[in-house]
Structure 1
Amino acid sequence: MTDIHPFLAAHPDCILVDITGTQGSTPRETGTFMLVSETTLWGTIGGGQFEFMAIANARNMLAGTGGMAEMDIPLGPDIGQCCGGRTQLRFRRVTQTVAEEIEVRLTSEIERLPEVYLFGAGHVGRALATALAPLPLSVTVIETRQEELANLPAETKTRLTPMPEALVKDIPAGGVVVILTHDHALDFLIAREALERTNLAYAGMIGSATKRATFASWLSREGGGERGWLERLTLPIGGTAVRDKRPEVIAVMTAAEILTALGAYRMRSSS
């Protein structure tokens, strides 16, 4: 998730644009906001002509040449959009009080982010951490090797431990486990701990059809095969439709799997 603090430090004179209400089909939901300075933006309220109108209004406020404190915009053909709904916007210059409000809102949002745990920071682990960094997720990389925790995105949290499998039991419900260590035996130990959990949104392991068969045999010997555990494991991660083994490609495909699984988990939890 992109840090807002560098933007505010570089552009202290800016406008907070808030979506305060929506009706019908709209590109973003109530509570979404963006910041507009004279030259650049942080965030988006949905793009298109609708956002261009909001940016122009905010910059008029900054320039002292007018601008409205509120706008109610129908998202129809008159502005070249076909959503069909309406969006209400509020515009406020960022003062110390408004900046503190933004901080509280972002802190609350961060605390609610789904938690993703990447076990292993090899080539694919680093690529996946990079792919996930701008997304609304809290990402932690867990390693047994200190040197592998370098060169990760600044937003990524890290854990160094000799027994990564022991951390799985403490992952919050709805969390994500992706297993990408340098050691198949360690992969299997972590996977077994993850599959004992029935409340994870996603559990995946890097590998192949051969590794899946090997793990299935190992799991059966360990007493997990008869319980249908293997059906809860995505192995290989990233699917098989795109036959490209470059770390960055696997990472993008796995990121899509994770987001899909998190969406399905939210649907199950709310029903």
Structure 2
Amino acid sequence: MRVADWQEALAAHGPFTRVVVAEVKGSVPREPGAELRVWPHRFEGTIGGGQLEFEALARARGRIGRRVERIPLGPAMGQCCGGAVTLCYERITESQVPRAGEMLRAVAMTPETPAPLFVHRAQARARDRGERPALRFGGGWLLEPVDPPKQPLWIWGAGHVGRALVNVLEPLGTLAITWVDTDARRFPEASQGPARLIAENPADLVPLSPANAQHVIATYSHALDLELCHRLLSQGFAGCGLIGSATKWVRFRNRLRILGHSDAQISRIACPIGDPTLGKAPEAIAIGIAGALLKTLSVQSDRAGTAIPRKGRAG
């Protein structure tokens, strides 16, 4: 859970009932941690549309207290998923918002239930090592990380593809996007959104990017694209994808070799990226790139050299 989301929701609309997916088995609409924030006449978030969410909204508006509900989706809801989901309900007021610096939240969902061993161990690791736990439900207790770190993503270029990619990825809320270009006028007008960096030569900003960042290079200049590839290969990254055709990438590979990079290093950059079957419109290209990126991130691999998967020609 994210403290800022709760604070904003409470400030805007007052106390709410939270419905969180605590545990899943088999095929289900959403993953553990997905949540609804429910008020009498509105809601935010989703645990998966359809009958499950419809019933959860009705229960949440019934002003129930803390409650755990285990639902086999087929028999109970007539849904075709075939799995089962455990939902936790609780009323959220200002007193339930974690304090600054807290790394985990542990809540007894059933009254007078002593905390199980996994809760005590997670609390000790958070206190002694600064570790955030993974979400876990058991023994009547819900344990979840507070403000888990977002995956850094650097998007180089605020042109048509860059804008479309931000529009696709930003609403997910799981990425810390840094958007880079040469002029503030190249960005869309907006009071909020990803962090924006401006530099006459954006490649000079490469040292600011963290080693675990994913990168998408989509600038207006092939020369700048090449310099970004060169500097990123010299510094290191978790994954990198480059907009371009197969012909462009052949030329880039040759030039990167001349600049001193080995074939093994160069192959860490994925080019072309996207899915040519979706079309050449910026929005279609962005959807293909976003899909490949999300597949990479879903693997949860922290192995160095993970790259955005290739697929065909992006433009």
TM-score (norm: length of structure 2) = 0.71
**Who is 1:212 aligned against?**
249
Within the alignment, does 1:232 sit opposite 2:268 as a pair?
yes
Residue type matched to 1:219 in 2?
L
Q: Which amino acid is 2:253 matched to? A: A
State yes or no: 1:28 paired with 2:64: no
Question: Is residue 249 from structure 1 mapped to residue 247 from structure 2 by the alignment?
Answer: no
Structure with the higher fraction of residues in strand conformation: 2
Unaligned runs of 5+ in 2: 106-131, 133-144, 305-315
The secondary structure found in structure 2 opposite 1:124 is: helix
Report Cα offsets for 1:83-118 as digits up to 9, x if no partner.
444433332222111244799679966552211101
Aligned position for 2:226: 188
Secondary structure of residue in 1 paired with 2:274: coil
Identify the match of residue 223 of structure 1 among 251, 260, 264: 260
Aligned position for 2:209: 171
Q: How does 1:105-144 map to 2 (within 5 A)?
A: 111-135=148-172, 136-144=174-182
Residues 133 and 153 in structure 1, CA contact (< 8 A), matched pair in contact too = no
Shift of 1:188: 0.4
Amino acid across the alignment from 2:210: P
- Alpha-carbon deviation of 1:174? 3.5
SS at match of 1:46: coil
Alignment match of 2:67 (pick from 41, 66, 69): 69
Cα distance, 1:151 vs. partner? Answer: 2.8
From 77, 80, 98, the equivalent of 2:78 is 80
**Deviation at residue 184 of structure 1 after TM alignment:** 1.4
Measure the CA separation in 1 of the matches of 2:47 and 2:93.
Answer: 21
Aligned residue in 2 for 1:260: 295
Give the 3 Å change call, closer, same or farther, for CA 123–84 of structure 1 in structure 2.
closer
Q: Residue 45 of structure 1 corresponds to which residue in structure 2?
A: 47
The one-letter code of the counterpart of 1:246 is A
For residues 214 and 98 of structure 1, what CA distance do their matches in structure 2 show? 57
In structure 1, what residue type is equivalent to 2:245?
S
Q: CA deviation at 1:16?
A: 1.3
2:10·2:94 contact (CA, 8 Å) conserved in 1?
Answer: no
Identity of aligned pairs, percent? 35
Residue 109 to residue 268, structure 1, CA distance change in 2 (3 Å): farther
**1:52 Cα deviation (Å)?**
1.9
Change (3 A) 1:109 1:142: farther
| Pairwise CA distance, 1:268 | 5.0
- 1:141-156 correspondence to structure 2 within 5 Å: 141-151=179-189, 154-156=192-194
Partner residue in 2 for 1:11: 13
The verdict on how the C-alpha distance between 1:209 and 1:24 changes in structure 2, with shifts beyond 3 A counting, is closer
Listed one character per residue, the Cα deviations across residues 110-169 of structure 1 (whole Å, up to 9, x for unaligned) are 552211101111121111111111122111101121222343683311112234223334
Greater share of residues in helix: 1
Inter-partner Cα distance in structure 1 for 2:270 and 2:179: 19
Aligned AA (2:240): A
Q: How far 1:172 sits from its partner (Å)? A: 3.0
In the alignment, is the contact (CA less than 8 A) between 1:204 and 1:234 conserved in 2? yes
